[in-house]
Chain A
Amino acid sequence: MLEIKNLRASVAGKEILRGVDLSVKKGDVHAIMGPNGSGKSTLAQVLAGHDIYKVTGGEVIYEGKGLLAMSPEDRAREGIFLAFQYPVEIPGVSNMYFLKAALNNIRKQQGLTDLDAMDFLALVREKMKLLGIDEALMNRAVNEGFSGGEKKRNEIFQMAVLEPKLAILDETDSGLDIDALRVVADGVNALRSPERAIVVVTHYQRLLNYIVPDFVHVLSAGRIVKSGGKELALELEKKGYGWLEEELQAV
């Protein structure tokens, strides 16, 4: 579904991604871990198409097509969803209106007609229940004045409504209390299917107890330096990242 080959990217003249290779197949759940500043969010944002990150090399193939040439909106319409580490506040645009516009844009790409107001409301209600979102939140402006946890929940709620093919979750667990974590994880797990893939960026094993990954990767200084199964996350939790760097130096 997604092939990242030797991807390099820089921001403000500084190279952040220095040759990332990653292959994600349908049905897979991948976890990406790694120290602060190693480039995890950069990778996520590059995949979503943020243009402040300049791609300086490599390629990304998504469902057989070159991803890097596509606009952010086309990527979303083709089924890529990024849950932002820092969701953006948009004063004056209601959550409900925003989500409807997003959904209908994506449906259009799939050759479907717009959902009418009734069907949209039914869908939104169902997903709100799933994620324990308060109806009042829907009528407020996008993320405006939301607590950290509400913002994260709202990202997963959007994901649940938009039903992407490839979901990239950037530290969706940070800022969530234990109960919220479980709710969010349930929301993600509800989306798991043999047709979809999920990439979770996280610092903590605790999320991976709920969303059990098929693969775990360590991104360090802009490269994936180690990959393994779900045990790798447990090992990292115990030992930190230091030993990896020593191991790398030894090689």
Chain B
Amino acid sequence: MPEIAEITESYFADFTRRERRAAWLEPLRERAMERFGELGFPTTRLEDWRFTNVAPLTRTPFKMPSPVADGVTERNLDAARIEEVAALLVFVDGVFEPGFSRLRTLPAGVRAASLRDAWDSPGKSLQGHMARHADTDRNAFVALNTAMFQDGALIEIANGVVLEKPVHVLFVRAPNARGTVTHPRVLVVTGRDAQVKVIESHVGSAGTAYFTNAVTELVAGENSSVEHLKLQEEGDEAFHIGMIHSHQERSSRFVSHSVSLGARLARHDIISVMAGEGAECTLNGLYQAGGNQHVDHHTRLDHAMPHCASREYYRGILDGKSSGVFNGAIIVRKDAQKTDAIQSNKNLLLSEEATINTKPELQILADDVRCTHGATVGQLNADALFYLRARGIGFEAARHLLTRAFANDVLSRVTHIPAREQLEAKLLARLSAGWKPEEVL
């Protein structure tokens, strides 16, 4: 087995081999790589990583995928496509695939492009925001992504432009992705009074160990509205590490939905900075795991300015021997008076061996704030189960119905109906593995 040092070596080797497209980004990349070298992969000795052991991930020298990825066809993508979107950008093994993408004429003031295409005419947003928000200094994975990312999506909405339908960014891994790593990168920038919905999905094949290290930055301009849905549906042996970093200007609204269903190990960091007065931030999350899956959400709501409101609703469904982590930090800075924050994390343990570590983390430095939080861990309600059965609904079906209802509390907040319906269907399929609820429900 290779030593950790050798493995970091292999990332450095790839770093020197990679394509260099944007000269302006090079200094940032150099610094990020250096920082990755200094930080190294996190260990469980770090408070933020106490319950998530990435050792299995650091034991494999994941390599950049070969440029030609086989085995992904239009048909493979069917299950991942979402109806009624304004644009679809497909990335196969990290690289933009125009053939699979749908970039019909977008309204004026809307730009949705692959980063590769954008390098040549970067514009203000790209240079001004790319890698300016997500923290390369403290997070080794963000540093690694920043140093290495080859492609990804740029979504820019000009002042006052409202895009009703979502932009779908789909990252798909080829069936032969074993042993490879991609570093998907997304940047969303909205101008004043603009509105956009972005769906970011990550899908892969079962039975192959690969690594996805994603970073998404979202910058919401004054009084703009951004809804971001991330669906993590990687293959069952995959590692997914993802950072979502949002930065909100005055009176903007940001809604994040993190739906984590796949991967052997998934870690999601969501950092939301309310940097302007009157910003509103909602973080919704649903994680579902079974078998030996591990899923970790670390969220951080940073109330940096007064009169901001945050709402956080996370729910987890854990079965088999799976384990979950929810750590919800709320930071209220000294001047952030009239902060209004509500956090809730509810967990359903469907087996005796499933575990969850849930913890709020409050740092409140202002005095005039309302901040409430609550976490629950429980089984299905026995009275509700009996009530359903007493009406003729079978045991499995009743369990299923209650579990779905539990999840729908989060999924029902997704505003794009076709996406919500697809999520419900996907969850249903996962919950019922091998058993056909449609026959009895």
Residues of B within 8 A of A87 (CB): 387
In addition to A51-B386, A93-B402, A93-B405, 11 A-B residue pairs with Cβ atoms within 8 Å of each other are A50-B390, A71-B395, A73-B394, A77-B392, A81-B391, A90-B402, A93-B401, A98-B391, A101-B441, A141-B405, A158-B391
> What are the 9 A-B residue pairs with the smallest beta carbon separation, nearest first?
A92-B405, A76-B392, A102-B391, A105-B392, A72-B389, A88-B387, A73-B389, A106-B392, A93-B405
Cross-chain contact of B386 among A50, A77, A89, A106 (Cβ < 8 A): A50
Closest Cβ–Cβ distance, residue B152 to chain A (whole Å)? 36
* Pair B388/A49 contact, Cβ less than 8 Å: no
Complex Cα spacing A104 to B393, Å? 9
The 0/1 profile, CB within 8 Å of A marked 1, for residues 372-394 of chain B is: 00000000011110111111111
- Shortest beta-carbon distance, B439 to chain A, in Å? 9
List B contacts of A71 (CB < 8 A): 389, 395
A154 to chain B, nearest CB (A): 12
Q: Smallest Cβ distance from A117 to chain B, in angstroms? A: 14
- Determine if B404 and A105 form an interchain contact, defined as CB atoms under 8 angstroms apart: no
Q: Decide yes or no: A49 and B390 within 8 Å by CB, A88-B383, A93-B405 being known contacts.
A: yes
Neighbouring A residues of B441 by C-beta, 8 Å = 101
The answer on a CB contact under 8 Å between B387 and A90 is yes
A59-101 to B contact mask, C-beta < 8 Å, 1/0: 0000000000001110111000110100111111100001101
Q: A19-74: which have CB < 8 Å to B? A: 48-52, 71-73
In the bound assembly, the distance between CA atoms of A50 and B387 in angstroms comes to 9
Tell me which residues across on chain A come within 8 A of B336, comparing CB atoms. none
Q: Residue B112 at the A interface, CB < 8 A?
A: no
Residue B409 interfacial (CB < 8 Å): yes
Bound CA span A141–B401, Å: 12
Whether B390 and A48, one on each chain, are in contact in the complex, defined by CB atoms closer than 8 angstroms, is yes
Main SS at interface, chain B: helix
Interface size on A, residues (CB 8 A): 34
User: Nearest Cβ in chain B — how far from A225, in angstroms?
Assistant: 28
User: Are the CB atoms of B393 and A101 closer together than 8 Å?
Assistant: yes
How many residues does chain B have at the interface if contact means C-beta atoms less than 8 Å apart?
Answer: 25
> A101 vs B391: C-alpha distance in the bound complex, in angstroms?
9
A71, A90, A102, A141 pick with most chain B CB within 10 angstroms: A90
**B54 shortest CB reach to chain A, Å:** 35
B440 within 8 A of A: yes
Q: Across the interface, do B390 and A82 meet the contact criterion of CB distance under 8 Å?
A: yes
B392 near A73 with CB under 8 A, answer yes
Instruction: Say whether A233 faces chain B, with CB atoms less than 8 Å apart.
Output: no
Cβ of B408 under 8 Å from chain A? yes
Residue of B at shortest CB range from A109? B392
Inter-chain contact A101/B390, CB cutoff 8 Å? no
Interface core residue of B383, B391, B392 (most chain A CB under 10 Å):
B392
Q: Does B402 contact A162, Cβ atoms closer than 8 Å?
A: no
Smallest beta-carbon distance B197→chain A, Å: 24
Provide the B392-421 mask, 1 if CB < 8 A to any CB of A, else 0. 111101100110111011000000000000
Closest B residue to A142 using CB positions:
B387
Known: A48-B390, A106-B392. A88 touches B440 (CB 8 A): no
CB-based contact A91/B440 at 8 Å = no
Tell me whether B409 and A90 are in contact (CB under 8 A). Answer: no
Please, which residues of chain A bring their CB within 8 A of the CB of B394? 73, 105
Which one, B387, B397, B408, B440, contacts A92 given CB within 8 A? B408
Q: Which partner residue on chain A sits nearest B396 by CB separation?
A: A73
Contacts of A102 in B (CB 8 A): 388, 391-393
Task: Decide: A101 and B440 in contact? CB cutoff 8 A.
Answer: yes
A72 engages B406 (CB within 8 Å) = no
A76 and B383 in contact, given A93-B401, A101-B397, A105-B440 (Cβ under 8 angstroms): no
| Nearest-neighbor residue (CB-CB) of B437 within chain A | A101
Contacts of B401 in A (CB 8 A): 93, 98, 101
Which residue of the partner chain B has the closest CB to A83?
B390
Interface set, chain A 119-150, CB cutoff 8 A to B: 141-142
Q: Which residues of B contact A73 (CB under 8 A)?
A: 389-390, 392-395, 398
Q: Report the minimum CB–CB distance from A65 to chain B (whole Å).
A: 16
Are B402 and A72 interface neighbours, CB within 8 A?
no
Minimum CB–CB distance for B42 against chain A, Å: 37
Residues of B within 8 A of A76 (CB): 389-392
Nearest CB of chain A from residue B395's CB, rounded to whole Å: 7
Closest to A106 in B: B392
Docked complex Cα distance between A55 and B50 (Å): 48
- Residues in A neighbouring B408, C-beta threshold 8 A: 92
Closest Cβ neighbor of B406 among chain A residues: A92
B384 touches A90 (CB 8 A): yes
Q: Name the residue in A51, A71, A105, A109 with the highest tally of chain B Cβ atoms < 10 Å from its Cβ.
A: A105
A75 proximity list for chain B (CB < 8 A): 390
Bound-complex Cα distance A49 to B387 (A) = 10
CA distance A84 to B392 in the complex (A): 15
Contacts of A89 in B (CB 8 A): 384
| A101 to B440 CA separation, bound complex (whole angstroms) | 7
- Check B387 against A84 for contact (C-beta < 8 Å): yes
Q: A77 vs B397: C-alpha distance in the bound complex, in angstroms?
A: 14
Minimal beta-carbon separation of B365 from chain A (angstroms): 36
Residue among B381, B388, B404 making CB contact with A98, cutoff 8 Å: B388
Q: Which one of B384, B387, B397, B441 has the greatest number of beta carbons of chain A within 10 Å?
A: B387
**When chains A and B are docked, how far (Å) is the Cα of A102 from the Cα of B382?**
18
Which residues of A are found within 8 Å of B402, using beta-carbon distances? 90, 92-93
Query: Considering the chains assembled together, what is the distance between the CA atoms of A131 and B150 in angstroms?
Result: 65
Chain A residues with Cβ below 8 Å from B406 are 92
Q: How far is the CA of A236 from the CA of B343 in the complex (A)?
A: 54
CA gap between A46 and B353 in the complex, in Å: 31
CA distance A173 to B403 in the complex (A): 32
Residues of A within 8 A of B382 (CB): 52
The interface bits of chain A over 181-214 (1 if a CB of B lies within 8 angstroms of the residue's CB, else 0) are 0000000000000000000000000000000000
Contact of A90 among B388, B395, B440 (CB under 8 A): B388
What separation, in Å, do the CA atoms of A103 and B440 have in the docked complex? 10
Q: Contact mask B11-55 → A, CB, 8 Å, 1/0?
A: 000000000000000000000000000000000000000000000
Looking at the assembled complex, report how far the CB atom of B255 sits from the nearest CB atom of chain A, in whole angstroms.
20
Picked from B386, B404, B409, the residue with its CB within 8 Å of the CB of A72 is: B386
* Residues of B close to A81: CB separation below 8 A: 391
Chain A residues in 8 Å Cβ range of B440: 101, 104-105
